[in-house]
Amino acid sequence: MLFVVGLGNPESRYEGTRHNVGFDVVDRLAKELKIGFRPGRGEYMIALSSHQGQAVGLVKPLSYMNQSGIPVLDIQVRFAVSLDRLLVVCDDFQLPLGRLRLRAGGSDGGHNGLYSIIYHLQSEDFPRLRCGIASEFAPKEKVLMAEYVLDPFTQEERPPASAMVERAKDACLCVLADGLQKAMNIYNKSLGV
């Protein structure tokens, strides 16, 4: 089974913000698979289904971004998931808006949600799909980045952000059906953004 974990913050005031792209992607996956989320046995929402004969679990941690590792560890232990079957989807302020970067592992890259997951799993060896949110509206000073990621997408950003979420959904389904390497070959290509 592949678990796709979308990172975000649970309150309605965070809906539509750049930091909640992970939630947007798993919501889009749930819609595609025609399934709904239900409360999990821990601090997360979960939806279970299959696609092309492959079992898939969609997870939305409810612990807030900076504590994402707690429910991810719970899922990993409860379902005895090997780390290579945990695909974490998150925003990335270092990638241009619309760009995807799928990797088999690596550092947190300054992302607090990934930092928490790495800390709690005691490993960097899990796949992650980073969704670019950097645009002309991004602040140059890193100290202002926390405010930027919690802001909603501007009207100009919404179309490329929506297209990115759709493409990220497709990338997740490709990982499920065809494996990580094939998905990386397809979805890590630049779209000219």
Which residues are the active-site residues?
A: 19
Pairing of strands 86-96, 128-134: parallel
The DSSP code sequence of 49-63 is EEETTEEEEEEEE-S
Helices 158-178, 21-33: axis angle to 10 degrees equals: 60
| Residue 143 CA to its chain's centroid (Å) | 23
* Residue type at 155 in one-letter notation: Q
Rg (CA), the chain: 15
- For residue 38, list its beta bridge partners: 46
Which residue do the tokens 């698979």 mark?
33
The C-alpha atoms of residue 132 and residue 97 are separated, in whole angstroms, by: 5
